[in-house]
Amino acid sequence: MQHLTDDAKTILLLCGRFGKTDTTDTTKPLSLREYNRLADWMVDRKFRPADLLDAITEDKLHDFNGAVDPERIRKLLSRGAAMALAVEKWTHSGIWVVCRSDDAYPERLKKHLKRTQAPPILYGVGTMDLLSKGGLAVVGSRNVDALGEVFTRDVGIMCAQDGMPIVSGGARGVDQVAMLAALDEGGTALGIVSDSLLKATVSGKYRSSIREKKLALVSAVHPEARFSVGNAMGRNKLIYALADFALVVSAEKDKGGTWTGAKEELKREESRRVFVRTGGDVPKGNWALIELGARPFPEPPWRDNIRSLLLHDQTPTTKKRAPSQASLFGEQAAEPDAGVSLRERQVPFDESARVESDLNQKEVPREELQPKTIYDAVLPVLLEAMQDWKTPAELTKILGIRKGQFEDWIKRVAEEGKAEKKTRPVRYRRK
């Protein structure tokens, strides 16, 4: 069974849950706010948590004027047998416990969240070292679209190749895509889960990575907790705190945990650098987060080390608008703000898209400018879309065409030497 210090045992007795039958109205574990009040009282008296056991014996809690009834504290601290059984069960499942009084408790949480928000207890499985490694927090919608999923997977692979851990929430969608992509590429990941840690420890998709010390799963709620919106919202701050940088792949404006967590982080006095995926087809929430101070995530291809790329990003956090999206035949869709410049929308002007007559400053008969085939009409739009590396899924969505039609066109573009190709994953960029 895991060795717990006396301080850790006391905190676990005060704030932990040990089963469905160990808790009554009078033995409801202390909330974070209640424990912080008790901690303030202990600091004033130069107590350590373990000293509370003697304080009860010597009746020194009578001057505790906080919101917690001293009798409730006594009852919570008397649950030693229930705690021992629970810890034994967790240990057999590979789960460890670390409390705020322990040296192993991550300093990142204490520093970033301060004592008012740092959870008293963390439960986890896997290598505890990953709690101090930092990394890139990747968050987003559970129902991410195809482009967002491809982008997330590419980011996970890139982080693995550069030795940067992925930090995420382990939920379906963006979280799992990022974590599994990094793990499949030989990288590491830290998942902060909001429920059912005990079940996650035996999940097939995580088991081998936990065994190989490439993955750790951590929770601030007891290992058998069921899902609740409150717990899911609460873990967002832990994701940001345990990372160095954050990337929001997709966020719904004014709705959902991704939006709430990112907005909360951006309001912090010393917030992490929050980046968002940009492009013509990202959710409105992404652009709204830029309005609040987030930064556009660097566009692929990523030629530099990812940590260096994000650390030295000089993009000003001024307000930006979403770029307009070109239609199949080059017509511009309606813009949110027609007065926004190309520079503000981060869309570089494409010199190659100019008509031949403009470059040579001489007039060309109108009939010679007309495209002779559909391919001739589409080619400038296709090349415009391939200014940076794009996957087939991204390009077919941008152009609004079928996969088969795209494959016919890209084959011809490649044969004409106008595009280059990369694999793992397959991507194209114009020459």
User: Which CATH number belongs to the domain containing residue 356 in this structure?
Assistant: 1.10.10.10
Residue-wise pLDDT tens digits, 91-148? 999 999 999 999 999 999 999 999 899 999 999 999 999 999 999 999 998 888 899 9
Beta strands in 90-186 (DSSP E): 95-99, 121-126, 136-139, 166-168
| Domain match, 267 and 220 both | yes
The two three-digit tokens of residue 64, written as one number: 């505790």
Q: Per residue in 344-385, pLDDT tens? A: 333 332 323 333 333 344 444 444 445 556 677 678 888 888
CA distance 169 to 174: 9
Pick the last residue of a domain from 34, 68, 92. 92
Whether 412 has a pLDDT exceeding 60, the answer reads yes
**Torsion, Cα of 342, 347, 353, 359 (10° steps):** 50
pLDDT digits (tens, 9 = 90+) for 61-72: 767 766 678 888
Cis omega (within 30 of 0) on the bond before 301? yes
Asked if residue 323 belongs to a domain, the reply is no
Q: Based on the domain organization, do 273 and 407 belong to the same domain?
A: no
On whether the CB atoms of residues 370 and 413 are closer than 8 A, the answer is no
Q: CA-to-CA distance for 83 and 81, rounded, in angstroms?
A: 5
Task: Please state whether the predicted TM-score (pTM) of the whole model is above 0.85.
Answer: no
Cα gap 139→142, rounded to integer Å: 9
Nearest in space to 157 (alpha carbons), one of 129, 126, 178: 178
Tell me how far CA of residue 407 lies from CA of 40, 83, 358, in angstroms.
66, 61, 31
Q: Domain limits at 382?
A: 351-430
Quick check: is 8 in a domain?
yes
pLDDT at 339 over 80: no
Q: Assess whether the previous peptide bond of 425 is cis (omega < 30° from 0).
A: yes
pLDDT tens figures, 269-290: 999 999 999 987 899 999 999 9
Whether 105 maps to a domain, the answer reads no
In sequence order, which residues have a C-beta less than 8 Å from that of residue 341 and are 6 or more positions away? Answer: none
pLDDT (tens digit, 9 = 90+) per residue, 202-250? 888 999 999 999 999 999 999 999 999 999 999 999 999 999 999 999 9
Strands 215-219 and 189-192, bridge-based pairing: parallel
Higher-confidence position of 388 and 42 = 42
Residues 52 and 146 placed together within one structural domain of the fold:
no
